[in-house]
A and B are shown apart, each in its own frame.
Chain A
Amino acid sequence: MASQELTKNLFSVSSAPLWHCGRTVRSTMLHSLLALLPAAAMAVYRYGYDAITVIAWAGLTAVVTEFLMQKWMEQESTADDFTALFDGVIFAFLLPSTAPFWLIITGSALTIILGRMVFGGFGGSPVCAPAVGWAVMTAAWPEFMDLNAMLLNWDLIEPLSELKYFGVDAVAEITPVSLLLGDNLGTLGASQVGLILLGGLYLLATKQLRWFIPVSFLAGVFLTALIFYMIDPSQYASPVFHLLSGGTMLAAFFLMPYPSASPVWKLPMLLYGLFGGALLIIIRTYGIYPDGACFAVLLINLCTPLIDLIQPKPFGGR
């Protein structure tokens, strides 16, 4: 009865001459993958065959999991639009290059299942999926995610755990240039800081990404670290060190602007980035884990609905 009345009064809605800008999820994801390519190439150059296997396992598992889950949930299959591949590759970038294959498969599958599919798929998830995968793996198998233990063969040091356990003097000799070039022990892709930055700049230049979140995130990291540094330079590392170490760059350009988990408007985006950066430094300083990038991203992702309440006033509104 009620539905009949409703349908009677429906206005006819015809399609206006709308103009599509040509941007699709697939093209954005392809650009993002292209932006990750130099860092991946550098990782392969540095860690050899291992790096290829890690990225391949993670990417393949992510796509297959997405396909199977969508089959099971009776959704339209979107496993071929590169979002799952992107998540898988980003997850691989957060692993040590010698990670065992079962850890990669479990983590990559959980990235898709717990990070995306339980919320209804890509576009529905309130948190950054690869960061979820990383967090679960870090909680489950800390000994296999520990960079120093996993990369014993390399003669280099991991700057962040060095800072955590041996104080600021231990990292005094690490120059910003060596950090930028990735000449230190680190995760597979996130430690190729310079090339990640290059990829991020490519995304900004091709307008796949707006500058608000990355810039404000880096500013938040810089400012918070600067405050600590000014309080006591002998106890806290310099802001430049924090900017160029660990997962900061990857978080700024690829994790923080995760499509469904970041705010939409300009001021909220700036606040989101600033608070995220501050959280990263706070977690690195007071937390028990050396690198807080993913935890900072996850925490600030949960604040997104709240921050997004700040909306511009409509024209003529009061």
Chain B
Amino acid sequence: MATLMQEFTKGLWKEIPPFRLVLGLCPTLAVTTNAENGLGMGAAVIFVLALSNVIISLVRNIIPKKVRIVCFIAIAASLVVAVEMLMQAFAFSLYQQLGIFVPLIVVNCIILGRAEAFAGKNPPLASLADGLGMGLGFTISLTFLGAIREIFGAGQLFGVSLFGPNFHPFTFMVQAPGAFVCLGLILAGMNYLTIWQAKRNGVELDPNFDSGCKGCGACKMMDQIAAQKKLERMQPAKS
């Protein structure tokens, strides 16, 4: 039970998808012009992520390793079509607001990422907890980002005017560049918080704590290429 709880809560802060894993940025940037859109998008993602995690985890031993990506996408796609139809039936205005980004949940990095990294290796119950946690984390992030952008960019929160009629909204925030700037500042804020916490607890912090260099390895590759080029340049001089 403790591990289930762990799987659930890691998506809420430690690996909160857009802000820690920096996955699923397309909807994060595009639909968060207000808090309501963020919440709706997040709800759709919770549904798809939790169910796709469970289904993939159930069939994980049947799928051949070579065609697993196709199977993951097929499962996610059927779920997304279900969500789309449900939205058309019960929340049509929201569906119109989100537009193309509902079908695009199929190719959302988080769905495939969690399927590949977690659900493909773990039992259904843990996968369900993971999917719910990650989906909830995604929803919280999107609502937070949407709320910030709505407050500054339109002077509203969930459609309720906050500052009165004399406020000239900072419309930069609800435009495309505002999304990037806002996301960048939030990422910086997350890192600042981590450093501050470590300092307060007196813990030595790994300089690559934000997992920037862990999964990439591009620097190493660049070093290798540079060394190889250097070797090539040296060789004609010797001969």
Asked if A and B are interacting partners, one says: yes
Within 8 Å of chain B (Cβ to Cβ): is A140? yes
Near B by CB (< 8 A), chain A positions 280-318 give: 318
Chain A contacts for B113, CB-based, 8 A: none
Query: Chain A: interface residue count, which band?
Result: 10 to 19
Minimum Cβ distance to chain A for residue B172 (Å): 4
Within 8 Å of chain A (Cβ to Cβ): is B168? yes
A318 to B175, CA, bound (A): 49
Does B181 lie within 8 Å of A114, measured CB to CB?
Answer: yes
Does B175 lie within 8 Å of A139, measured CB to CB?
Answer: yes
Does B184 lie within 8 Å of A318, measured CB to CB?
Answer: no
Minimum Cβ distance to chain A for residue B146 (Å): 18
Could you pull out 17 A-B pairs where Cβ atoms are within 8 angstroms?
A: A106-B170, A114-B181, A118-B185, A118-B188, A136-B172, A136-B177, A137-B172, A139-B172, A139-B175, A139-B177, A139-B178, A140-B170, A140-B171, A140-B172, A141-B168, A141-B171, A144-B168
Chain A contacts for B171, CB-based, 8 A: 139-141
* Residue positions of A touching B, CB distance < 8 A: 106, 114, 118, 136-137, 139-141, 144, 318
A118 to B168, CA, bound (A): 25
A139 to B177, CA, bound (A): 9
Chain B contacts for A118, CB-based, 8 A: 184-185, 188
A114 to B180, CA, bound (A): 12
A118 to B185, CA, bound (A): 9
A278 to B42, CA, bound (A): 44
* Residue positions of B touching A, CB distance < 8 A: 168, 170-173, 175, 177-178, 181, 184-185, 188, 233
Chain A contacts for B188, CB-based, 8 A: 118
A118 to B192, CA, bound (A): 13
A239 to B215, CA, bound (A): 52
Minimum Cβ distance to chain A for residue B205 (Å): 15
Chain B contacts for A141, CB-based, 8 A: 168, 170-171
Chain A contacts for B178, CB-based, 8 A: 139
Chain B contacts for A136, CB-based, 8 A: 172, 177
Minimum Cβ distance to chain A for residue B7 (Å): 35
A144 to B173, CA, bound (A): 16
A114 to B175, CA, bound (A): 16
Chain B contacts for A318, CB-based, 8 A: 233
| Interface residue SS majority, chain A | helix
A23 to B172, CA, bound (A): 39
**Minimum CB distance partner of A144 in chain B:** B168
Chain A contacts for B175, CB-based, 8 A: 139
Minimum Cβ distance to chain A for residue B133 (Å): 31
A106 to B168, CA, bound (A): 12
A144 to B188, CA, bound (A): 30
Chain A contacts for B168, CB-based, 8 A: 141, 144
**Minimum CB distance partner of A143 in chain B:** B168
Chain A contacts for B184, CB-based, 8 A: 118
A140 to B177, CA, bound (A): 10
A175 to B188, CA, bound (A): 50
Chain A contacts for B172, CB-based, 8 A: 136-137, 139-140
In the complex, besides A114-B181, A139-B172, A140-B171, 13 extra interface pairs with C-beta distance below 8 angstroms are A118-B184, A118-B185, A137-B172, A139-B171, A139-B175, A139-B177, A139-B178, A140-B170, A140-B172, A141-B168, A141-B170, A141-B171, A144-B168
A318 to B229, CA, bound (A): 13
**Minimum CB distance partner of B233 in chain A:** A318
Minimum Cβ distance to chain B for residue A155 (Å): 27
Minimum Cβ distance to chain B for residue A117 (Å): 11
A106 to B184, CA, bound (A): 19
A106 to B167, CA, bound (A): 14
Minimum Cβ distance to chain B for residue A99 (Å): 12
Looking at B168, B178, B188, B233, the one whose CB has the most chain A CB atoms below 10 A away is B168
**Minimum CB distance partner of A114 in chain B:** B181
Minimum Cβ distance to chain A for residue B225 (Å): 15
Chain A contacts for B181, CB-based, 8 A: 114
Minimum Cβ distance to chain A for residue B33 (Å): 14
